[in-house]
Chains A and B, each alone.
Chain A
């Protein structure tokens, strides 16, 4: 699992930069085996090999869920944000995405930006 080890190392470096704390404090709850941890992964410009390896951690062989670790889709409330790789533009991009709310789940909207659901659109009843 060279790739994912590397990815986790990278993630810890980014966390230090983003949160001003080290990854160890973040993973403490895991070590006592009583609490689970949610991970949100963001690609900051990798070659995709790290993503493939992280995705493989959920397969029946490694089954990361048995340790209480889950990759989640929503950025709202995960304990760990994993990012790879670590480079200036990538980290900036992630920080920017966090600040501008791109990482909030996208919502359908009208031309003027007011949110609406697909089924509420007048043309959805034509078909």
Chain B
């Protein structure tokens, strides 16, 4: 049976199911693989969630939006679900009406937890009982920010907010992060780490409860790098200029963030990037993945005291960054991706990429093979920080961490866009089938530190192959098309207050932008969802010695830095 028939059958079945509930209204199809429905009451929303859970949908993001001055005169919550098998993205719009509370889907999708906490601090909306007590204030905004600030509500200007924060600071206001008070009363020994860490890294507070060497509990307090990016987006940023801000969300995946934003804008402006630009976007996305994976493997080597190998890898990394500088004019590939295409400072030099990358990946492979074979390295990493497939599914973990736990979640294959679409490149063949043929495929799905290390190594190889395939296609393009990289888009007034989704698979996982345009060609609301947001609970689960099903092996405190580096999550992308 051709794939399209399967997809259509699932969609038809889903529509019939939605219809059965009677209260779920189909709004429209914003794109080939997207479907948007509206629910107005709590009961049908819960029913729909149960149904989606049974059909193996997973939660991508949850967005609150202040639409009190728009048509429906209400706060709204948007849920975005993904169904990888049929490449379907389902957006559910829920109207809050007059109240400020909404039903929690925690029983069906545990990953709503982080979003509910965020919405509590940024909008002041609380899920109904029994979750209400659990969603405490102060997990996103704390210390310099007073409670009740709710910065994303639209009825207060930026000046008002600044004045309120200044007044609070003047009075000596200091509100601790809710994580620092979360330890149970009977806890024995507490070990606070952070928020300012010893290395040159981002701030975040880890509160360990330990019994001797073993970790009993861990609370992760984030929000120390909160910069108000989502508020900045709606403070008069032009729709076509928002990529500048998007690239600053997380420094190491600047390109993927910029690309996800650009894809959302392209959907709103109904433009398409020229073929040459799509090919280059693929190359840059994979270049970014490779240099970050090399850095992460180097960090793991350093943590097990293999300084020599770590230094070798940091030289490889530096060469990859210089390659970026040469082909894109920026070491972190910034300012290259625009809505409607790409902008390059000089003609793209594919041969140079091929040559340098080949040498770098060969050297990386050699070191990685050496590392994988070292008994010391295997001892420290195998069976340490295990995140089982069941736990990962329950918590909604995504991206690389999910793949290392045996969940084949990869937006390049699940929801292919641009160069990963079948007409260009058979992403499935390169990314899923390729690594699964490797002899270490089983080890790479065990969910431990070693599995995440191995997944990175395999992905560097597959990314290298993908770049090779894309460069082949670049060379086949006729010279006139090869030079044509940008079609300037125009903002369409008929799409005012329309929602668009843009996504890209960064090196940590899928980066999703939820974007709504306002009537002044600006951004009404832009919700950024970095994969770190879903993966922080996964890091916690991988070191605590229990889960809802029972006790798990203990992790010793000395292994935590290793586990943390194997996930390498972004603080900045989470705190926004």
Contact = CB atoms under 8 A, between A and B. Distances in A.
Is B one of A's binding partners?
Answer: yes
B306 interface: no
A49 interface: yes
Contacts of A93: 143-144, 224
Interface in B176-201: 185, 187-196, 198-201
Interface residues of A, number: 47
Given A108-B189, A116-B189, A46 B254 contact: no
A19 interface: no
Contact of A42 (B192, B196, B248, B332): B196
B498 interface: no
B314 A51 contact: no
A118 interface: yes
Contacts of B571: 48
Among A56, A71, A105, the most chain B Cβ lie within 10 Å of the Cβ of: A56
B212 A43 contact: no
B210 interface: yes
Given A52-B252, A118-B210, A46 B572 contact: yes
Given A123-B188, A125-B212, A48 B252 contact: yes
Contact of A46 (B174, B193, B225): B225
A80 interface: no
B227 interface: yes
Contact of B213 (A53, A110, A124): A124
Contact of B201 (A51, A60, A121): A51
Contacts of B165: 89
A60 B251 contact: no
B417 interface: no
B250 to A, nearest CB: 6
Interface residues of B, number: 51
B174 A127 contact: no
Nearest to A63: B311
Nearest to B291: A52
B199 A49 contact: no
A47 interface: yes
Nearest to B187: A111
A106 B191 contact: yes
B211 A121 contact: yes
B555 to A, nearest CB: 13
A59 interface: yes
A49 B210 CA distance: 33
A94 to B, nearest CB: 8
A30 to B, nearest CB: 19
A39 to B, nearest CB: 9
B206 to A, nearest CB: 9
Contact of A43 (B174, B191, B202, B248): B202
A53 B314 CA distance: 12
A106 B192 CA distance: 6
A117 B441 CA distance: 42
A55 B318 contact: no
Contacts of A47: 248-251, 254, 572
B39 interface: no
Nearest to A100: B174
Interface string B210-254: 111110000000001111000000000000000000001111101
Contacts of B251: 3, 46-52
A2 interface: yes
A127 B214 contact: yes
B570 interface: yes
B49 to A, nearest CB: 34
A59 B252 contact: no
A109 B190 contact: yes
A71 to B, nearest CB: 6
A14 to B, nearest CB: 14
A59 B315 contact: yes
A49 B193 contact: no
A31 interface: no
Contacts of A27: none
A102 B287 CA distance: 38
Contacts of B213: 118, 124, 127
A45 B232 CA distance: 15
Given A56-B317, A59-B314, A45 B198 contact: no
Contacts of A46: 202, 225, 251, 572
B203 interface: yes
A126 interface: yes
Contact of B212 (A56, A92, A127): A127
Contact of A92 (B169, B188, B227): B169
A42 B198 CA distance: 9
Nearest to B319: A61
A48 B572 contact: yes
B195 A49 contact: no
Given A124-B211, A126-B211, A127-B212, A43 B203 contact: yes
B154 interface: no
B193 A51 contact: no
Contacts of A48: 202, 250-252, 570-572
Given A47-B251, A60-B311, A96-B143, A106 B570 contact: no
B557 interface: yes
A94 B212 CA distance: 32
A41 B224 CA distance: 15
B225 A118 contact: no
B360 to A, nearest CB: 14
B331 interface: yes
Nearest to A94: B196
Contacts of A108: 189-191, 210
B332 A3 contact: yes
A103 interface: yes
A73 B200 CA distance: 8
Given A97-B195, A110-B189, 17 more contacts: A43-B225, A47-B248, A48-B571, A51-B201, A52-B332, A59-B317, A59-B318, A60-B315, A73-B198, A89-B226, A92-B144, A102-B195, A108-B190, A110-B188, A111-B190, A123-B212, A127-B213
For the complex of A and B, 3 pairs with smallest distance between CB atoms: A49-B251, A124-B212, A73-B198
11 contacts: A45-B226, A49-B332, A56-B317, A56-B321, A74-B198, A96-B143, A110-B188, A110-B189, A116-B189, A118-B557, A127-B211
